């Protein structure tokens, strides 16, 4: 019971720290992990799936081992476990920075600062900003907010509820490696296969829980749960990602907009399936998406803390 209370309290406190402080501006542990992963890649890289599996096991295994070791140092001490869980939660969450960047994007678009909006877009997603107009930038930012609400907040909180500090750290390592090497380009099609598939598995349940919460909270932004549910059930499976499709389709339905279509990346152009019904998103819809994202984040941390308490009890 003490462990359940400690983990629940740590998740809530870590979420509060993220809301109050956002990401550390210097020395962020996730950035440090990314730098270490790049160095490891110089040793492990081969154009093969086997090499990618080794790369994934080495890095995720090391981070998981670190989490297990840290948890053992506070075993039996509820306060220590709560503080450690809070620190790990703050480290892996990115919801506040996501919402802040979304609002800043909306500010720049509303003021007509298209160049500034283009400069900001890479902090949200990998689209090619130079080919996007104001509506294209709003759509790209909105789709990123939908997907990353699940990836940057819902998934880590749920893994924290399930596995405590090791779950928090291991999930962030998996998600970071997917962002680094999980591409279908010439270099990473084989090497990044393991990272992409592991991330898909790690996000299967969180993406669907995120979709359910988004659907339930659609009225927060003037939407209807029935519309969000219909868009999810009808459109999500058409998306190339089994998880991003759920997050984006449910958000599109909740907002009453259409996402997807022609999508420009630096490595080429993809024609994504359309998700939802209604007009293409505008700047005001981007602000609504941020509000819905923040509501989903709050609901998730309450649910995760409750689940941690009940499960450990």
Identify the pLDDT of residue 23: 82
pLDDT > 90 fraction of the chain, expressed in percent and rounded: 81
Instruction: Kindly report the pTM of this predicted structure.
Output: 0.93
Would you report the helix, strand and coil content of the chain in percent, each value rounded to 5?
75, 5, 20
For the chain, list residues with pLDDT below 50.
none
CB 154 within 8 A of CB 295: no
Helical residues (DSSP H) of the chain, grouped into ranges = 2-21, 29-44, 49-73, 78-92, 95-110, 114-120, 134-149, 155-181, 193-216, 225-235, 244-255, 283-312
Place of tokens 């399930």: 162
- Alpha-carbon radius of gyration of the chain: 19
Identify the pLDDT of residue 32: 93
Q: Which of 23, 179, 10 is nearest to 87 (CA)?
A: 10
Q: Which of 271, 242, 276 is nearest to 258 (CA)?
A: 276
Identify the pLDDT of residue 126: 76
Q: How many CB atoms lie under 10 A from the CB of residue 155?
A: 28
Identify the pLDDT of residue 67: 96
Q: Which of 246, 232, 83, 88 is nearest to 172 (CA)?
A: 88
User: Helix, strand, or coil here: 93?
Assistant: coil
């Amino acid at each position: 019971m003490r462990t359940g209370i400690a983990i629940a309290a740590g998740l809530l406190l870590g979420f509060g720290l993220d809301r109050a402080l956002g990401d550390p501006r210097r020395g962020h542990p996730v950035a440090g992990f990314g730098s270490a992963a790049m160095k490891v890649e110089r040793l492990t890289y081969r154009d093969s799936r086997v090499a990618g599996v080794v790369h994934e096991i080495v890095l995720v295994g090391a981070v998981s081992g670190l989490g297990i070791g840290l948890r053992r140092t506070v075993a039996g001490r509820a306060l220590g476990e709560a503080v450690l869980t809070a620190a790990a939660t703050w480290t892996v969450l990115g919801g506040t920075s996501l919402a802040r960047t979304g609002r800043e994007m909306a500010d720049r678009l509303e003021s007509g600062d298209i160049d500034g909006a283009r400069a900001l877009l890479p902090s949200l997603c990998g689209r090619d900003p130079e080919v996007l107009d104001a509506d294209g930038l709003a759509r790209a930012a909105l789709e990123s907010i939908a997907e990353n609400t699940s990836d940057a907040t819902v998934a880590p909180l749920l893994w924290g509820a399930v596995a405590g500090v090791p779950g928090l750290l291991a999930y962030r390592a998996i998600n970071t490696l997917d962002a680094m090497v999980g591409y279908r380009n010439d270099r990473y099609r084989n090497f990044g296969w393991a990272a992409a598939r592991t991330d898909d598995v790690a996000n299967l349940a969180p993406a669907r829980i995120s979709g359910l919460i988004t659907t339930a909270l659609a009225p927060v932004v003037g939407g209807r749960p029935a519309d969000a549910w219909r868009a999810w059930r009808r459109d999500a499976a058409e998306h190339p990602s089994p998880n991003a499709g759920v997050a984006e389709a449910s958000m599109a339905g909740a907002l009453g907009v259409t996402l997807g279509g022609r999508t420009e990346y630096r490595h080429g152009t993809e024609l994504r399936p359309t998700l939802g019904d209604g007009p293409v998103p505008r700047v005001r819809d981007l602000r609504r998406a941020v509000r819905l994202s923040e509501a989903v984040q709050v609901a998730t941390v309450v649910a995760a803390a409750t689940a941690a308490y009940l499960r450990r009890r």
